A and B are shown apart, each in its own frame.
Chain A
Amino acid sequence: MSSGSGDQLRLGFLAAVEDSERGVVGGLLITNRFGRPLEFQCTTPVKPNRTQQILYGPTLRPFLLAEVIGRTLVEKVSVKPHLVLVETAELLELRPHVDVPIASLFTQADADEDVGFPLGKQRLMFHGDFAEDRDQIQRRSVEVPDTADLQEPFERIREALAEALKTPMARSA
C-alpha cells in the first residue's frame, strides 16, 4: 500500500444496482476506518444471456452478484480491504471465492434480537463456514468508532453507480 496509513483498518463496501436494459452494475468502495474513500471500482453492466437465464434459474442472481461481479471487483481493487461488507445475506456466498472476510449487515427486522457481531451502529453476520472471520475482525473492531453508520456508504455507492450508468461506459480500467 502506498498510503502512509500502514496497517490501519480498511473497509470495503460492495453493492449493486440493476438497470432493466443494461443489466447489473456492481461497485466496491474501499474506505479507511472513518469512511473516507480510498478507492472505488465499478463494473461495466453485466447482462446475462437467455441461456444463462434459463439454465441458472433462481441461482442466477447470487451467481452474478457474488461470483461474477463481487469476485471480479475484489480481485481487481488495488487497495485491499480487511473486511468487505454487503447488505444482504445472499452475497455472503462470495466468501468461498475470495480471500477476504465478508460480512453482511443485519436487516432492520432482525435488529431486535441480540445476535450478530456489533460493529459501529450495525450488527454483522458472517458466512457459516468461515468462523475464523469473526475472530479476526473482532480483534480489529475497536478501530471502528461506535457511531459509525455502516449503512451510509452503500447509499453513496448506489448514487455513484447510478451516475456511472448514465454515462456511456466507454472508459474501462
Chain B
Amino acid sequence: MSNAAPNASPPDEALIETAHAPLSLDTDVFPAGINGALHRWSRCDAQSTPLVASPAAVAWKPHRPRVVTFGLRFPEAVAFLPPPASKEPSELRPIAPPPPDPEAGVDVPEPKRQVTRLKPPADALSLEDRLFYLLQPPLQTWLAGQELIMPFEPFPYQYEGIAWLFSHSSALLADEMGLGKTMQTITAIRLLVRSGQVRRVLLVCPKPLLPNWQREFRLWAEELPFVVVEGDTDRRKITWTMPGIPVLIANYELLVRDYAAFEDGEFPKFDLVVLDEAQRIKNRDSRTAETARALPRRRSWALTGTPIENRPEELGSLYEYLEVIPPRGTPDLKQLQCLSKQFILRRTKDLVMKDLPPRLDRDEVLELSPAQRAAYDTAEKDGVIHLNEMGDSISVQHVFELVLRLKQITNWDPLTGESAKFDRLEAEMEEIAESGGKAILFSQWTKCIDWLAERMKAYGTLVYHGGVPGKQREPILKQFKEDKNSHLLLMSYGTGAVGLNLQFAGYVFLFDRWWNPAVEDQAINRAHRIGCKSQVIVTRFICKDTIEERIDRVLREKRELFASVLGEGNNTNRSLSLNAAEIFGLFDLKARHGKGVRSIGPEVPAA
C-alpha cells in the first residue's frame, strides 16, 4: 500500500511502497486413482500363436439327390409274320385326280401333313392309362411305311375316326354311307391288336355282307388272321372256342342260335365286339338285341349308316348294348344329347367333301342267296356241258349267251325272286333316303329295271330307259331333281343322251356291269364329270364265285395295263373291252380228246 500523498511537494524521493505479490500458484494434485496408472507404463507381453491352424470345414459333398421314378411298360404287342411276297394284285382301283388346269399358273399347294395324335378318352383317369395314349406315335407314322402297310392312305377325317375308335371302349360310328366305316373299323381293330390292347375280336354283320367284310379285312389288315363262323353245328362250336384267333366274323342269325346253344357263362369272352348295321338291334326286346347285350365283352362298338340320332327309341337299345346307360334305361332328350356327343361319331359327305376325291369307287362283294346259288350252279354246269358238246363249232356268240344268262341270275333268281343285290340295295337306299340323298342305278336290262321299279316304290323311284316315251323323259328328270321324296332313278346303260346333267345325285349304283368299262364311265359321267365340284360315290355290285367276279378281274387287269401304258385319262378306247380269247377264258372249256379232254378256245395273246 502506498500512501502517496498527493501533495505537491516535489519529492525527491517519493516513498513507493511495494508489496510482495507471490506469483507462484500452489497446485496440488487431486488424488484420483488414475494417478498411479498415469505413471505406469503399459505392460507388454509376448505370446506366441501358431499361424498354421486347420480351419473348421463345413463338409458338403456334391451328391446325387435321390430321384424316384415312375415307369410304364407297354403291353407286348402281337407281331405277325409278314404276308408272303406274291399275292394277288390290289383289288381297289385308284382314280386319278382331275388334271390341273393348264391355264392356271398357280401351283397346287402341297397338302399339309396332318398329324393325328391319339387323345386319351375322357374316362381314362389313371395316369398310366393317359400316358399310354399320349405316348403313342401319331397315327400317320404308325400307319405309314413298314410298321403297318396300308394299301391306300386314309383321308384326314378317316384318321380321326380311327383314332376316335381306338381310344373308346364304347363307340357308335355313324358315318354316312360310303365314307369308309369298314376301313376305319378294320384299321382301328388292327391297331388295337398290334398294340396288345385286345386279343379277341368278334364282328357281327348281316349274312350277305360276310364276303365283303372278308375282302376288306384282307385288303386293309393283310396280316391279321380272321375266321368266319360257318358250317355245321359242330364245326361252328369248334370255331367259337378255338383259342388264338384274333378276329371272328359271324352273322346275326348264327350268333343268336349258337349263343343259345352254349351253357350259361360258357360262351367265350371277347375283348371287343363290333356290330355292323347295328340298326338290327334297334328293338330292345328282340332276341338279337338280347344276345348282343349278353355277349361277354370289354369293348362294344356299333356301326350304322342311318342318322340314328334322330330316333331316340332305337338309340336307347344301342346305348344299352354299348353299356353307357343302365338296363331298361330311358334317357331323356338332354341326356341323349350328352350321350350323343360323347359316344357317337357321324360325318356326312358334304362335311368331309374337301377331303374326299370327287369320285369314290367301291366294290361290294355279295354272296348269292341260296336259291340264286342253286340256280346259278345248275345253269353254269348245264351251260358248260352244252358248250363242250358243241366242240369246235363253238363261237363267241354261244359263250356270250351263256354269260348273259348267268349274269341275269346273279341279278335275281327267276324262280323265287330272291336277290342278294336287291337286299343290299334296299338296305343302302334306306340309309341314303334317310339322309336325304339321291341315287342313280344302272342296269343293262330294261326288264331288270322294271322289276326293281316295282319293288322300290317306297323311295319315289323313277324310271328312265328306252321304253319310256320321249315326251315323258324330261319331266321325269325334273321330278327326280326337284321332288324331295324321289330318291332313286333307274336307268339303262344305253339311254341317256349327251347333255344329261344329274350332278346333284350323290350316289351311283351299277347293278350289273357292262362289257366295256368306257361305257360304264360314260354312264357314271351323267352324275359326275372330272373337274366338277360335286362328289359322287359309285357302288358296283359283284357276286362272289360267279362269272361277274371273273369278268371284273379281266376288265381290271386290262384297265391297269392300259393305265400303265398310256397313263390315266378319259379314254374311251373300245379295245378295253373283252376280246374273244378272254371271253372264252371265263370258262374252263374242254373238249373230248380221245379218252381224255383237252382245253379248247382261242389262245389268249401274250401280253
Residues of A contacting B69 in the complex (Cβ-Cβ under 8 angstroms): 41-44, 72-73, 76, 172-173
Q: Is the CB of B141 within 8 A of A152?
A: yes
Q: Is the CB of B72 within 8 A of A40?
A: yes
For residue A5, CB closer than 8 A to chain B, the reply is yes
Which of A77, A171, A173 is within 8 Å of B127, CB to CB?
A: A171
Q: Is the CB of A173 within 8 A of B136?
A: no
Chain A interface size, under 10 / 10 to 19 / 20 to 34 / 35 or more: 35 or more
Contacts A147-B144, A156-B137, A163-B134 given; indicate if A171 touches B70 (C-beta within 8 A): yes
- The segment from A31-39, A83-91, A110-118, A124-132 found at the interface with B is A31-39
Q: How far apart are B166's CB and chain A's nearest CB, in angstroms?
A: 14
For residue B416, CB closer than 8 A to chain A, the reply is no
Which residues in window 21-66 of A have CB below 8 A to B? Answer: 29, 31, 34-44, 46, 48, 51, 55-56, 63
Q: How far apart are A67's CB and chain B's nearest CB, in angstroms?
A: 6
Residues of B contacting A79 in the complex (Cβ-Cβ under 8 angstroms): 73
For residue A19, CB closer than 8 A to chain B, the reply is no
Which of A34, A43, A78, A167 is within 8 Å of B67, CB to CB?
A: A43
Contacts A152-B137, A160-B135 given; indicate if A68 touches B70 (C-beta within 8 A): no
- Bound complex: CA A101 to CA B271 (Å): 40
Q: How far apart are A72's CB and chain B's nearest CB, in angstroms?
A: 5
Which of B64, B65, B71, B77 is within 8 Å of A36, CB to CB?
A: B77
Closest B residue by C-beta to A56: B62
Residues of B contacting A43 in the complex (Cβ-Cβ under 8 angstroms): 67-70
Which of A39, A145, A153 is within 8 Å of B137, CB to CB?
A: A153
Residues of A contacting B73 in the complex (Cβ-Cβ under 8 angstroms): 38-39, 78-79
Q: How far apart are A128's CB and chain B's nearest CB, in angstroms?
A: 23
Q: Is the CB of B74 within 8 A of A38?
A: yes
Which of A35, A41, A55, A67 is within 8 Å of B64, CB to CB?
A: A67
Residues of B contacting A76 in the complex (Cβ-Cβ under 8 angstroms): 69, 71
Q: Is the CB of A41 within 8 A of B141?
A: no
Residues of A contacting B30 in the complex (Cβ-Cβ under 8 angstroms): none
Contacts A35-B141, A153-B137, A163-B130 given; indicate if A72 touches B67 (C-beta within 8 A): yes
Q: Is the CB of B68 within 8 A of A173?
A: yes
- Bound complex: CA A148 to CA B137 (Å): 11
Q: Is the CB of A68 within 8 A of B68?
A: no
For residue B400, CB closer than 8 A to chain A, the reply is no
For residue A69, CB closer than 8 A to chain B, the reply is yes
Residues of B contacting A73 in the complex (Cβ-Cβ under 8 angstroms): 69
Closest A residue by C-beta to B142: A36
For residue A169, CB closer than 8 A to chain B, the reply is yes
Q: How far apart are B438's CB and chain A's nearest CB, in angstroms?
A: 43
Q: How far apart are A144's CB and chain B's nearest CB, in angstroms?
A: 11
Residues of A contacting B146 in the complex (Cβ-Cβ under 8 angstroms): 34, 145
Q: How far apart are B177's CB and chain A's nearest CB, in angstroms?
A: 34
Closest B residue by C-beta to A153: B137
- Bound complex: CA A78 to CA B72 (Å): 10
Q: Is the CB of B135 within 8 A of A37?
A: yes
Interface flags for B45-84 (1: CB within 8 Å of A; 0: not) read 0000000000000001010110111111110110100000
Q: How far apart are A149's CB and chain B's nearest CB, in angstroms?
A: 7
Q: Is the CB of B135 within 8 A of A42?
A: no
For residue B11, CB closer than 8 A to chain A, the reply is no
Q: Is the CB of A34 within 8 A of B141?
A: yes
- Bound complex: CA A46 to CA B63 (Å): 13
- Bound complex: CA A76 to CA B508 (Å): 60
Q: Is the CB of A55 within 8 A of B68?
A: no
Contacts A51-B60, A160-B134, A169-B70 given; indicate if A5 touches B79 (C-beta within 8 A): yes
Q: How far apart are B434's CB and chain A's nearest CB, in angstroms?
A: 40
- Bound complex: CA A171 to CA B60 (Å): 31
Q: How far apart are A125's CB and chain B's nearest CB, in angstroms?
A: 24
Q: Is the CB of A77 within 8 A of B131?
A: no
- Bound complex: CA A41 to CA B73 (Å): 9
For residue A20, CB closer than 8 A to chain B, the reply is no
Contacts A68-B65, A159-B134 given; indicate if A39 touches B74 (C-beta within 8 A): yes
Closest B residue by C-beta to A69: B67
- Bound complex: CA A55 to CA B62 (Å): 9
Closest B residue by C-beta to A59: B62
Contacts A36-B77, A152-B138, A163-B134 given; indicate if A42 touches B145 (C-beta within 8 A): no
For residue B147, CB closer than 8 A to chain A, the reply is yes
Interface flags for A149-173 (1: CB within 8 Å of B; 0: not) read 1001100110110011001010111
Return the 10 tightest CB-CB contacts between A and B, nearest first. A34-B147, A35-B137, A44-B68, A40-B72, A172-B68, A41-B71, A72-B67, A37-B135, A160-B134, A76-B69
15 contacts between A and B (CB under 8 A): A2-B76, A36-B195, A37-B137, A39-B73, A40-B71, A46-B65, A56-B62, A71-B64, A73-B69, A147-B144, A147-B145, A152-B138, A159-B134, A169-B68, A172-B69
20 additional contacts (CB under 8 A) given A171-B70, A173-B69: A2-B76, A29-B135, A34-B142, A34-B146, A37-B74, A38-B73, A40-B131, A40-B135, A42-B71, A44-B69, A55-B60, A68-B67, A78-B71, A79-B73, A145-B146, A152-B138, A163-B130, A163-B134, A171-B127, A173-B70
